[in-house]
Amino acid sequence: MPSLRNEKDRQGLVERLHTVKREARPQWGSLDAPRMMCHLNDSLGAGLGKLEVPRKGPAAFRHFPLKHLAIYVVPMPKNAKAPAELLARTPADFEEERRQLLQAMEQMAAMPTGAGPEHFLLGAMSYDQWNALNWKHIDHHLRQFGA
User: Is position 92 within any domain?
Assistant: yes
For every residue of 104-136, DSSP letters joined together read: HHHHHHTSPSSB-PPBTTTBS-BHHHHHHHHHH
Total number of domains constituting the chain: 1
Q: Is the pLDDT of residue 86 over 90?
A: yes
User: Is position 119 within any domain?
Assistant: yes
Q: Average pLDDT of the chain?
A: 97
CA distances from 8 to 19, 26, 142 (A): 17, 26, 17
With H, G, I as helix, E, B as strand and everything else as coil, classify residue 113.
coil
User: Is position 1 within any domain?
Assistant: no
User: Is position 125 within any domain?
Assistant: yes
pLDDT digits (tens, 9 = 90+) for 23-32: 999 999 999 9
User: Is position 23 within any domain?
Assistant: yes
pLDDT digits (tens, 9 = 90+) for 67-81: 999 999 999 999 889
pLDDT digits (tens, 9 = 90+) for 13-72: 999 999 999 999 999 999 999 999 999 999 999 999 999 999 999 999 999 999 999 999
| Contact between residue 116 and residue 47 where contact means Cβ atoms under 8 Å apart | yes
Total length of the chain: 147
Half-sphere exposure of 68 (CA within 13 A, CB side): 3
User: Is position 121 within any domain?
Assistant: yes
Q: What is the pLDDT of residue 79?
A: 84
Query: What's the CA gap between 100 and 133, in Å, rounded?
Result: 19
Q: Which domain holds residue 127?
A: 7-144
What separation, in Å, do the N-terminal and C-terminal C-alpha atoms of the chain show? 19
Query: What's the CA gap between 59 and 135, in Å, rounded?
Result: 24
User: Is position 96 within any domain?
Assistant: yes
User: Is position 2 within any domain?
Assistant: no
pLDDT-derived band at 113, boundaries 50, 70, 90: very high
pTM of the model: 0.97
